[in-house]
Amino acid sequence: MLARHGLQLPRVYPTFFRLAFAEMDAEKAHHTGFGMIRAAESTGASAALRRFTRPDRRLATRVMGLDFPSPFGLAAGFDKQGLGTSALADLGFGHIEVGTITGQPQPGNPAPRLFRLVEDKALINRMGFNNDGSAAVAPRLKATRARLTRRFGARRPILGVNIGKTKAVPLEDATRDYLTSTSALARHADYLVVNVSSPNTPGLRQLQAIESLAPLLAAVGREADRTTGRHVPLAVKIAPDLADEDIDAVAAMAQDLKLDGVIATNTTIERGGLVTPGAEVEQMGAGGLSGAPLKERSLQVLDRLRAGLPEQIGLISVGGVTTGADVAERLERGADLVQGYTAFLYEGPFWAARINRELAAASSGITRGTGRA
């Protein structure tokens, strides 16, 4: 029954969300839900579902020199520390990006720091890169890659690693901090992402200026390849709040540095066009907005980057993705991969599997904007 009807029963999740999570503190709800996903893996329940959640072979795609079982993956921010990556892989994501991980351990910003805008299907977060630091996360990622290979073989989900700056490190020492993470983590990453676009670490977005960003990326790329003895695909993640001319400059820099990918976009500091009353939004305070309200700007940045990037540089689109149709639209407009995060909290654990089914059903009608198969 489940196989024939494509796991339609888990569409009861929106009701479950309203009953179990809607009134719960958002960060507590995240940890509770993530704990349930990890428990499903530890008890063997997710293994029984894997044959239903595994992406259709027609969805396989090659980007940045890597073979992804599906173009749809989970963005950084959900599994910040590599604690449940293989459990998430059982849900059907073609790749999972762990992080953001910093050179040194840090607790992040004071709570409360995660807020739901349910009417907008959005989140505001000011988590502040809370994580145990690169040295502690590295062995988790090593074990995860081995587990994914045993479980899925050659068609395993891809493991991305997203790195950022430790808050206490001055901007002038940022490169050294990123290199600390690179030397610890690159060997366990299928691809590496330099995050300079979170609004929740003071001064971080200043590193998006090309005169700072280019040498930083070049140094990380050299260290990753030196440490591993292989080429580690390298991408940069940018903010939606960049001016159009700055987006063009990023595209030019990516070509000059021969980057493997650009991820667009991170969360926004804008608050326009929300359904949630302004007084409620103001009470939530500072932080990055993600989810459905980010969709239009994310698409604008996608279009601009695709026009400025050659096909060999992978373009990963994220921001306001909810349905298989959203993912298909990104692919048709030139994205090579698509990521989601916020809708996962509202759509439930079978979200990725549902998107993969929708993509597979529409696969004959999807035309990649770059002309790739």
- pLDDT for res 84: 94
Chain segment 234-263, per-residue pLDDT in tens: 999 998 988 898 899 889 999 999 999 999
Give me the domain span that covers residue 206: 26-360
The confidence score (pLDDT) of residue 201 equals: 67
Burial of residue 372, with CB atoms counted within 10 A of its CB: 0-12 exposed, 13-18 middle, 19 or more buried = middle
Q: Which residue has the higher pLDDT, 45 or 28?
A: 28
DSSP E strands, the chain: 61-63, 66-68, 72-74, 95-102, 114-117, 122-125, 158-164, 191-195, 234-238, 261-264, 288-291, 314-318, 337-340
Query: Would residue 21 count as lying in a domain?
Result: no
User: What is the CATH classification number for the domain harbouring 242?
Assistant: 3.20.20.70
Structure tokens at 220: 């990380």
What's this model's pTM, rounded to 2 decimal places?
0.91
- Sheet with 288-291, side-by-side order of all strands: 114-117, 122-125, 288-291
Residue 192, in any domain of the structure: yes
State how far the Cα of 325 lies from the Cα of 21, in Å rounded to an integer.
Answer: 27
| pLDDT tens, residue by residue, 67-118 | 999 999 999 999 999 999 999 999 999 999 998 999 999 999 999 999 999 9
Q: Cα(126)–Cα(121) distance, rounded to whole angstroms?
A: 17
Residue 151: what pLDDT?
93
- Residue 34 assigned to a binding site: no
Residue 342 is predicted with a pLDDT of 95
Quick check: is 315 in a domain? Answer: yes
* Integer Cα distance of 247 and 253 in angstroms: 10
**pLDDT level of residue 371 (50, 70, 90 thresholds):** very low
* 322 is annotated as contributing to ligand binding: no
Angle at 65 between CA 63 and CA 70, to 5 degrees: 40
Task: Judge whether 356 is annotated as a binding position.
Answer: no
Residues sharing a CB contact under 8 Å with residue 256, sequence separation 6 or more, in sequence order: 214
Query: Has residue 297 been placed in a domain?
Result: yes
- Contacts made by residues 106-113, CB under 8 angstroms, sequence distance 24+: 106/130, 106/131, 106/133, 106/166, 106/167, 106/168, 109/200, 111/27, 112/25, 112/26, 112/27, 113/27, 113/287
Q: Is 267 annotated as a binding residue?
A: yes
Q: Please count the structural domains in the chain.
A: 1
Coil vs helix vs strand at 74: strand
Query: In the chain, pLDDT over 70 holds for what percent of residues?
Result: 89
159-206 per-position pLDDT tens digit: 999 999 999 998 889 999 999 999 999 999 999 999 887 665 666 666
Per-residue model confidence (pLDDT) at position 279: 95
95 within a domain of the structure (yes/no): yes
Confirm or deny that 100 is annotated as ligand binding: yes
115 is in an annotated binding site: no
Among 19-28, 178-187, 194-203, 341-350, the range of highest mean pLDDT: 178-187
Annotated catalytic residues are 198
Q: What is the pLDDT of residues 257-300, one digit of tens each?
A: 999 999 999 999 999 899 999 999 999 999 999 999 999 999 99
The per-residue pLDDT for 47 is: 80
Q: Model confidence at 7, in pLDDT bands (50, 70, 90)?
A: very low
pLDDT of residue 25: 86
Element (H, E) at 302: helix 295-308
Both structure tokens of 155:
């068609």
pLDDT of residue 44: 82
Do the domain assignments include residue 6?
no
Q: Give the phi and the psi of residue 95 in degrees, each rounded to 5.
A: -155, 155
Q: Which amino acid is at 213?
A: L
Calpha distance 285→111 (Å, rounded): 12
Q: Is 72 annotated as a binding residue?
A: no
Is residue 323 part of an annotated ligand binding site? no
- Per-residue burial over 44-62, b if 16 or more Cβ lie within 10 Å, else e, is eebeebeeebbbeeebebe
Characterize the bridge pairing of strands 288-291 and 122-125: antiparallel
Tokens 């790749």 map to which residue? 95
68 within 8 A of 61, measured Cβ to Cβ? yes
Q: Which of 36, 79, 130, 120 is nearest to 294 (CA)?
A: 120
Pull the structure tokens for residue 139.
């062995």
In the structure, what pLDDT confidence band is assigned to residue 370 with cuts at 50, 70 and 90? very low
**Residue 372 domain-assigned?**
no
- Which amino acid is residue 45, in one-letter code? A
- Assess if residue 204 is contained within a domain: yes
Q: Confirm or deny that 195 is annotated as ligand binding.
A: yes
| 125 annotated binding-site participant | yes
